[in-house]
């Protein structure tokens, strides 16, 4: 198990500070109340129930005790991420590789002239 893994598990206990999860791989973990969802949670018992199957993401893993810190919030935030197209060349903003390619012959000529003058 490593940080960033997405695992399924069952909620085995709920306390005011978080929920304990038995993961399918045999380890146990805790979802801290701050990692359940974005925003304020006034009552954790309204958000989660015992025996509920959950998909969680590993935030931290203690190899000595074999316990994991888990998060539901990071998976929730992934759903709200809207992908955008990224273009490497955009002539309106003069960014990307095209302006470099356009300037390369001029820079090469200047460098060769500089080297000729040095001789």
- The residue ranges of DSSP E strands in the chain, in sequence order, are 6-15, 18-23, 28-32, 53-62, 67-71, 89-90, 95-96
Q: What is the pLDDT of residues 88-113, one digit of tens each?
A: 555 555 566 777 788 889 999 999 99
β-strand partners of 9: 23, 54
Residues 71, 22 share a domain: yes
Which two structure tokens, joined as six digits, stand for 99? 């302006």
In the predicted structure, residue 34 carries a pLDDT above the cut 60: yes
DSSP 3-state percent helix, strand, coil across the chain (nearest 5): 30, 35, 40
* Token representation of residue 42: 């006034």
Are 73 and 30 in a shared domain? yes
Residue 107 and residue 70 in one domain: no
**Same domain, residue pair 27 and 74:** yes
CA–CA gap between residue 5 and residue 73 (Å, rounded): 14
Residue ranges making up the domain that contains 58? 6-79
In the chain, how many domains are there?
2
* Residue 75 forms part of a structural domain: yes
pTM value surpassing 0.85 = no
Q: Would 84 be classed as within a structural domain?
A: no
The string of pLDDT tens digits covering residues 43-102 is 888 888 899 999 999 999 888 888 889 998 888 776 665 665 655 555 555 566 777 788
What's the CATH number where 60 sits?
A: 2.40.50.140
Do 41 and 15 belong together in one domain?
yes
Same domain, 19 and 71: yes
Pair of tokens at residue 106: 């001029």
């Amino acid at each position: 198990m490593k940080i960033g893994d997405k695992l399924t598990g069952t909620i085995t206990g709920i306390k005011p500070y978080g929920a304990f999860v038995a993961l399918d791989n045999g380890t146990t973990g805790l979802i801290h109340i701050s990692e359940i969802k974005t925003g304020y949670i006034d009552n954790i018992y309204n958000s989660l129930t015992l025996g509920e199957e959950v998909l969680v993401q590993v935030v931290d893993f203690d190899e000595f005790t074999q316990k994991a810190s888990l998060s539901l919030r990071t998976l929730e935030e992934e759903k709200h991420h809207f992908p955008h197209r990224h273009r490497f060349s955009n002539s309106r903003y003069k960014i990307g590789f095209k302006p470099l390619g356009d300037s390369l012959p001029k820079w090469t000529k200047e460098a060769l002239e500089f080297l000729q003058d040095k001789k």
